[in-house]
């Protein structure tokens, strides 16, 4: 098995590493809570982040 997923581009990996820090203490009760957090997290980043 490869050490990484061939479906994840290097830029996606970078994005997920930053998201991981924000998720460290989160516990979601539903899919909607999860989606709301991801939407909030994405909106909180400057355009240059992406």
Looking at residue 36, what is its pLDDT?
94
Looking at residue 33, what is its pLDDT?
94
Q: Determine the structural domain holding residue 17 and report its residue range.
A: 7-44
pLDDT single digits (tens) 11-29: 565 667 777 777 888 899 9
More confident residue, 35 or 8: 35
Nearest to 37 by CA among 19, 49, 13, 50: 19
Residue 20 lies in a domain: yes
Residue 34 lies in a domain: yes
Residue 22 lies in a domain: yes
- The 8-class DSSP code of residue 25 comes to T
Interatomic CA distance for residues 42 and 50, integer angstroms:
9
Mean pLDDT for all residues in the chain = 77
Per the CB < 8 A criterion, the answer to whether 45 and 23 are in contact is: no
- As for how many domains the chain has, the answer is 1
42: its two tokens: 């994405």
28: its two tokens: 């979601």
Largest CA distance in the chain: 36
Residue 50 lies in a domain: no
């Amino acid at each position: 098995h490869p050490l990484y997923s061939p479906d994840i581009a290097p830029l996606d990996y970078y994005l997920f590493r930053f998201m991981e820090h924000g998720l460290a203490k989160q516990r979601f009760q539903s899919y909607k809570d999860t989606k709301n957090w991801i939407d909030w997290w994405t909106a909180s980043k400057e355009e240059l982040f992406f």
